[in-house]
Amino acid sequence: MTKPPLDILLCTPRGFCAGVVRAIDAVEKALSLHGAPVYVRHEIVHNKYVVESLKRKGAVFVAELSQVPDATRPVIFSAHGVPKSVPAEAQQRHLFAIDATCPLVTKVHREAEVHHKRGRHILLVGHAGHPEVIGTMGQLPEGAITLIETLSDVAALAPPPDRPLAFVTQTTLSVDDTREIVEALQARFPGLIGPHREDICYATTNRQEAVKHVAPKVDAMIVVGSPNSSNSQRLREVAERAGCPAARLVLRTDEIDWSVFGGIRRLGLTAGASAPEVLVEEIIDAFAARYEVRVETVTTADESVFFPLPRELRGEPQPAPAE
């Protein structure tokens, strides 16, 4: 039987960002230099496929440092960043700790610290419970940062009356939602101090812009990514708001609901910043088995950002001393 035609509009940029590449490379480099096991506190990035792949290579993922049984083995902090209590605990236990926090998250941490030193109360726009938010709030004493999630939070906000206000944001938020919240904060607090450059990272912004461009032109859209990936969830939401009739977050081909994608003629396809390209290729192959597929790449930005590995991993292993 002749397969029906399907145009796939493939968003570019998509997939891995520089911070994710750095974090995954850090685990693989540590395994190369030091052998297995290498311990990783929390998921190095929010993608089950990546985590399982690293497990097979010898990475052991733990929830807390107390689960690291051998202080001589490397332990890596995830790309999302950690509260200051975590490296402090690592130092106290004399652990071989390697910080793979994305430099753009570290930028937010530094901004918060500067605001605090200058006597400002800090408003953090972000999602409660996300590791990045936990890490940012954990840079400062309790009560120094107030989390803002919604416009309702802005309306109900009662900050300390005797202190100037500043804001920072999670790096993986919806650009449009964050703009609304920041504008509402600025309307309520005209003296509010913001970052010199916005905190939402280049990769989040670029991927959302690509989706906005493609979403109105397709019958349905797939965002390749994990449910716990903030930037992937935001891409799905952006696609819906941009006019796509059906937008779904899918990690692997077995999650495709063919009742949704069975009669379409144009499909948009992108991937969150922690989703590897091999999963995008799997999705294309799954549609090619059912459709006569024509793939068109839609490019809205070029990315050339690179972050070097953590300092502890840049050198080659030292030769063992002669006996």
Give the C-alpha separation, 95 to 50, whole Å: 25
- Sheet strand arrangement including 96-99: 59-62, 38-41, 74-77, 96-99
Structure tokens at 82: 């950690």
The active-site residue, picked from 132, 277, 282, 312, is 132
Q: Annotated catalytic, 132? A: yes
Task: Work out the end-to-end distance of the chain between its first and last CA atoms, rounded to an integer number of angstroms.
Answer: 72
Q: b vs e for 80-98, b when ≥16 Cβ sit within 10 Å of the residue's Cβ? A: bbbbeebbebbeeeebbbb
Cβ burial 251-275 (10 Å sphere, 16+ → b, else e): beeeebeeeebeebebbbbbbbbbb
Task: Tell me which residue of 7, 14, 10, 11 sits closest to 204, measured CA to CA.
Answer: 14
How far is it, in rounded angstroms, from Cα 45 to Cα 229?
A: 8
- Identity of the residue numbered 102: C
**Residues in the chain, total:** 323
Q: Which amino acid is at 124?
A: L
Query: Active-site residue numbers?
Result: 132
